[in-house]
Structure 1
């Protein structure tokens, strides 16, 4: 019998046992209900640990997708600003003039 099957059988003996660690659980006398609550908690902790790598991988992929979407949006905004600068020569000329003045130390 596997761990999971054993735990399932034990938990089915006391399906209405209170949550482990609650005052209701502490008030129970030692017996199947109290043990079932402990086993249920242990199974939850075990399964949560089993699923942690899957959840972490999913969260990383979601964060990466959000980051790339933001990067993509930023790229498109910069590209459009650059294109708009080229379509308006007076803006481009002013930008080149400002960069030249900064490069030569403000001397014209």
Structure 2
């Protein structure tokens, strides 16, 4: 496993954790209806990050395509999360954008 894989796997796992934390925290917010898009994208993003990490760990022939899709979903999740002032949303957005950038570099 090369260093880029390791760096990307780490970013994906950190992003997955941030999304799961954000998802859980969003469910506890007073106006949950306002958080629906954020919650949905947190789930999507956590799932694709887990899949991307697994694909890289197992040296999947589809790892590059999965990383490209992961980057797109991370970016969408980051854009949604940054709309909300909650600390967990802001931290999640930061993690999503970082993961998106690293995954994009992997996908080239």
TM-score by length of 1: 0.27
Q: Which has the larger radius of gyration?
A: 1
Q: TM-score, normalised by structure 2?
A: 0.27
